[in-house]
Structure 1
Amino acid sequence: MVRASRLVSLLMLLQTRERMTARELAAALEVSVRTVYRDVESLGAAGVPVYGEPGHEGGYRLVEGYRTRLTGLTAPEAESLFLASLPAAADELGMGSTAAAAQVKLLAALPAELRVRADRSAQRFHLDTPSWYHDADRVPHLAAVAGAAWQQRTVTIRYLRWEQPQEIVRTVEPHGIVLKGGRWYLVARAAEREMRTYRVSRLLGVDVLADEFEREPGFDLAAYWADQLERFDHDRFRGTATLRISPQGAERLPHLLEPAVADAASRTAGPPDEAGWVEVTIPVEPAEQAVTDLLRLGADAEVLGPPKLREHMATVVEALARRYAR
């Protein structure tokens, strides 16, 4: 089974590339060059028109015009076919019909049994990217900036930001598009050669220019985004708070507060007292937002410090008590 799968992979590599040397094939398949020689012989014996060209520019090729309908997909891979599709995202990017057509063609190339398994997966799993209680952003300019990123075209954007002046105009070089929690973000290089992130729903206008740009050498969109998320948490959580949490509060905390907070509470939890309460240290935002977040835990948590946060909590709780005592 392993060798059969490897032969299929070798055939797919030769079908998708014009030429590959034995050493390149060996590296791609993670086998020895000798194994590649044997596998190529086996393909030839099975009727696959593969031939080798000697010399520095040589390598293995398929006879020109030869194509196979064989996809090389295993049953689990076929089942995951629809899990990899994002029809809503494709629609917003202006690629809905193209993605649907590609999916139909790919399904048509599958053997009947695998086609059934892929369809079964589509009927049993659905991906809904927006978070609870929040609708997806309206993004009328998404297709324009996505197309500019693909074509490496400079764009002039009108953007609405939180700080003053709110409406700004920037000429930027789009390097990528990110979908996070149902919200789209544009990652672009600004005039000062610094990468910046713009929320696409806050774009008021987009003008795609004729100018092409060269991408930042070695730019990795996924790595950039991971770094941005880490910085966001670092900038947002400007302090720490010490809490006493009941057993019920500890159980509810991961469902009420953010993963970074829940993780910190788990790591810093001290030994329980006689009533089962534990002391934890968690990262918090500035006092006003921290109070709003910590009130979600209700009477299952007590803020021990810092003193200003405890005082702020007491003020809010006392005001609530007076209001409900009427």
Structure 2
Amino acid sequence: MADAPTAPRRTLYPPIEPYRTGRLDVGDGHSLYWEQCGNPDGKPVVFLHGGPGAGISTDHRRQFDPARYNILLFDQRGCGQSTPHASLEANTTWHLVEDIERLREIADVERWMVYGGSWGSTLALAYAQTHPDRTTELVLRGIFTFRQSELDWLYRQGANEIFPDKWDEFLELIPEAERDDLVAAYHRRLTGDDPAAQLAAAKAWSKWEGETVTLLPNPHFIEEFTEDRFAIAIARIENHYMINKGWLAEGQLIADAGKLKGIPGVIIQGRYDCCTPPATAWDLKKAWPEVELNFVPDGGHLYNEPGVLDGLIRATDRFAGR
């Protein structure tokens, strides 16, 4: 697959406000914040944010033509404006798949496009493979599927060789005797009873990820990732999903790619994505030949890097008229 073109590049649509917001009680003590933006009569799309645990932002709305799309965005369990904050109870991939279906009913649509990046791509694949009859198209970025090799890349061997100085910072909190399983070591601290230790672990966990997701260093981005409330949610929830391997069998989402047959799809993948390396996107492409895979030659992991964003906007524009 050839690398995507680099110019001229598309950018975000102008800022918009929701025309409708609400909360959904999904049981187990969880209440989800959701919003709809754009054209109420437009093409339905659900936006699935990353993390897990990151939440939605106002810029996420702007990846879709507001005149042509009816956009539903929501904060997944435990993050953003959803409550309770940073909760791990009844918070699994399959709970979220059920939540998406409940939100589809609130949106009063039969089928919709599913858009997800990073962890959002995992959730999008899980949803589409469970409900292919409800999925019109898939737009995915930074493919992640919870295979052991992908977990090892971030937390054992791989990204540490590209960011050795940042890796050493990540290790500092963990005694050498516990470093054979960093996900488990951080889990003990993120779920422990000491609030100070929990926050320190959350900041270290979130900062390590923040260092790997940008093509070039971005101090402002690291500040956002280490803000107390954000760090607690993303670190606790993300680690909870990592230690449970997303409640997925090894290789499940790629093995089940045949369930996506007939669903048009586009993958935008940064060539130099050090958080979710391109090998996973390539493996998914081989298992799902119909999908269009575009490698961005100067792209990392984040959706708002110029080349990655260009590819995403072009994909949403292309599907807007279907």
Q: With structure 1 as the length reference, what TM-score do the two structures score?
A: 0.20
